[in-house]
Structure 1
Amino acid sequence: MQLEIYSLMAMKDQISVSLEAICDSYSSLLWDIEFYQCGCFEVYIAASPQNVSIFQRGRIVARSDDAQHFGIIESLQLETDAEKGDYLTVTGRFLACLLERRIIYPTITANGSYEDIVRKVLSRNVISAGIRNLPGFSMGTVFGDCWQKTARMQVSYDNILEWLYSLCKTIGGSANVRLDGNALKCDLFSGTDRSLFQDENPHIVFSDAYNNLLSFSYAADDAVQKNFAYVLGCGEGNARKRTTFCSGTEPTYLDRYEVYVDEQNTAQEEDVTDAEYLEILKSSGAEHLVQPKTASESAIAAFSTQYQYNKDYFVGDYVTVEQRRFGLLQPRIQLIGMVESFDQNGRSLTPTFKETE
């Protein structure tokens, strides 16, 4: 597997991308794909005048076997040592990090599908925003029912990258920016259910009984849970607009964990009815709900004959994990991150899982 290094030049509303070098002699590579946040990478390579000239900040690092994820170099660290040798550490994040350079300005009130809301935010701040444009940026493909659900919300001054991934966490989708020739495409998508809870797709089961679960740890904590929101909007005293929000059936008694959400600064515009304004407040309430904290760490077989990463399953998919020895079963758990590591010991996979409701 080779690394491809590209230069990235901006020319008004367009970009120019050209291949500068191909590298296959690095000491180690970490390729961290995340579902609910921007992924990152690290290249550790012997330092030489040639490598220092190749790996420059602002350049793009791509893998010859990955057409979806492209990193942009953000940090370089050069260390020289007479005994151990000279090494260069190259780090950065994937191209979605470019959205971190913009905020949502001015206030946007949006009503429609989540796909339409994202399109509106990106259009006004990134795509059709004059000098605020990200050159070559446009919407790509959209996949997943979660992006067709509807909402009404008001957003202003949020960092676009943080807002987008916060929205993703709320609806269970994800976003990725990829390089497509001389263009940057923002894709919206969702994971595929491959757990034992469904029969449409082949089941993916990681288990000590199948020798594809090398290690396993699990912890759960209810203390951080918030499942019922009281949301107060604009106005003063008893005249403040207010509503409540919960997901599904309203929790009661010991199962109820309440949170207060202050949306005093969310103004009700003249063309927004009271009912529509309450829907905006409900959307804010949804963002403040917190599921019970769980931690599940596992190491899975990188070269399993049963399932191959990025062929049989992908980051964002729902799978099944079990530790049969201790009788622990997570029948539907989401793979929200995967760190691929390449070094002198070969390739390893370190997944991150998140339990679903």
Structure 2
Amino acid sequence: MQIEIYKMEASEDSLTITLEAICDTFSSLLWDIEYYKCGSFEVYIAANPKNIEIFQTGRIVGRDDDNQHFGIIESVLINTDIENGDYLTVRGRFLMCLLERRIIYPTYSTTSAKKYGDIVHEVITKNALLPDNRRIPGLSLGTVPGSCWEQTATLQISYSNLMQWVYTICEKIGGTANIRLVKSTGEQYRMVFDLSEGANRSIMQEDNPHIIFSDAYSNLLSFSYAEDSSVQKNFAYIFGQGKGDERKRTAYYEGSEPAYLDRYELYVDADDISETEFIDDETVPIPENKYLELLQTRGSEQLVLPQTASESEIAANNKQYVYNRDYFVGDYVTVQHRRFGMMQPKIQLIGMIECFDQNGRSLTPTFREV
């Protein structure tokens, strides 16, 4: 595996990407792919004039064995040490972090039910693709596979950070977003914004081969599990525009209404949701029932499930299940620890840290129960 470092120059309509160097002599590489947030990377490499010239902020870092994830160098730290030598610590995040440079402006509103995939595409288009100074050069819309993106909603959003809002929607419906590089011609590249959904590979289905991590199969090297119910919020009171008792309000919960000790209430201030919308160059009032639907959508985004986390180390060289061939970040798998009598029949792989260092390659996944 080699690291590729590219120089990126953006014009109004395109990107010019130049391969500056190929590196395979680094001390360590962390490649952290996340499903519900922007992934990151870290390169630890000897500090010398050549490497200092190569690893500059704003450049792109890729891997020759990964055509889905590309990072932007955001920080470079030089440490000098008489005993251990001089080293560079190069850190950055994947290309989704470009969306963090935009907010949602002006207000986006839809009072007719639309697919979440269409909603996200429209918001990205209005805030990052239109031909003005807010445009992210070379960015285009890609594919939207996955039934989760077929779900519909009415919503109104304004002034939120674009990247954070996209991941809020992803976590709400169970999908993910990614920006990858696609070569066009010569040194011209496109950045493609994709929406997708993980596959179910657990024992709870029969459409895909089962992926089971277990101490019994010698592919689960270490295991930890934590649960925290104190953070959950399952009943939202949402307040919109208005004053005092005339303020528009509603409530939201999922499934059966929680009650007694199972009820964890949350206040949601949605005063920013306007009671009017702009249609055909005219400002018109939103019907009250539609306005309450907008409030409920906002409330649904604020609910918090009990926090569960399971971190493990799995066998990187296991031939039974190969990462990024047989299973991917976002997939649902089965985790079993026979020694403790624990079985998680359907659990989602929401993150994977690949580490390359003097000890070889290791895989550290993060799981979350559904």
| TM-score interval (norm. to shorter) | over 0.9
Q: Show the counterpart of 1:103.
A: 103
In 2, Cα distance between the equivalents of 1:164 and 1:25? 36
> Is residue 202 of structure 1 aligned with residue 216 of structure 2?
no
Greater shift after overlay, 157-166 or 271-280?
271-280
Distance (Å, rounded) in 1 between the aligned partners of 2:84 and 2:224: 36
The CA deviation at 1:208 is 0.9
Gaps of 5+ in 2: 184-188, 277-283
Of the structure 1 ranges 164-173 and 233-242, higher mean CA displacement relative to structure 2 is found in: 233-242
Aligned to 2:352: 338
User: 1:56-95 to 2 correspondence within 5 Å?
Assistant: 56-95=56-95
Question: Structure 2 matches for 1:1-357, cutoff 5 A?
Answer: 1-110=1-110, 111=112, 112-181=114-183, 182-269=189-276, 270-356=284-370
The worse-fitting range, judged by mean Cα deviation, of 66-75 and 276-285 is 276-285
Q: Give the Cα–Cα distance (whole angstroms) in 1 for the partners of residues 25 and 354 of structure 2.
A: 17
In structure 2, distance between residues paired with 1:264 and 1:57: 39
Relative distance call for 1:330 and 1:145 in structure 2 (3 A) is same
- For the residues of structure 2 that align with 1:49 and 1:239, how far apart are their CA atoms? 67
CA contact (8 A) 1:123 1:129 kept: no
For residues 273-313 of structure 1, give each alpha carbon's deviation from its aligned partner in whole angstroms, at most 9, with x where no partner exists: 22221111111111111111222121111111210100000
Normalising by structure 1, what TM-score?
0.97
- Preserved contact between residue 140 and residue 186 of structure 1 (Cα < 8 Å): yes
Q: How many residues align?
A: 356
SS in 2 for 1:162: helix
User: Deviations for 1:59-115, whole angstroms, at most 9, x for unmatched residues?
Assistant: 111000000000111100112223321111111000000011111111111341111
Report the TM-score, using the length of structure 2 for normalisation: 0.94
Any idea what the Cα deviations from partners look like across 1:305-336, whole Å, max 9, x if unmatched?
21010000000000111111111111111000
Structure 1 residues 76-85 or 87-96, which shifts more?
76-85
Distance 2:47 2:31 in 1: 20
Secondary structure at the counterpart of residue 290 of structure 1: coil
Of residues 285-294 and 107-116 in structure 1, the stretch that sits farther from structure 2 once superposed is 107-116
Q: CA RMSD in A?
A: 1.2
Which blocks of at least 5 consecutive residues in structure 1 are unaligned?
Answer: none
Q: Distance in 2 between matches of 1:271 and 1:68?
A: 44
Q: Distance in 1 between matches of 2:80 and 2:266?
A: 52
Contact 2:170 2:176 in 1 (8 A): yes
**SS of equivalent residue, structure 1 residue 121:** helix
Separation in structure 2 between the aligned mates of residue 36 and residue 219 of structure 1, nearest angstrom:
19
Q: Note the C-alpha offset of 1:129.
A: 4.8
Note if contact 1:8-1:18 (Cα within 8 Å) is conserved in structure 2: yes
Q: Is the 8 A contact 2:158 2:272 kept in 1?
A: no
How far does the alpha carbon of each residue in 1:168-190 deviate from its partner, in whole angstroms, 9 at most, with x for none?
A: 11111110011112111000001
* Residues in 2 aligned to 1:236 and 1:129: alpha-carbon distance in whole angstroms: 40
C-alpha deviations, 1:194-241, integer Å up to 9, x for none? 111111101111111111111111121211111111112112233222
SS at 2:142's partner residue?
A: strand
State how far apart, in whole Å, the 2-side matches of 1:129 and 1:271 are. Answer: 30
- Residue deviations 1:13-70 (CA, integer Å, cap 9, x gap): 2111111111111111000000000000001111121111111111111000000000
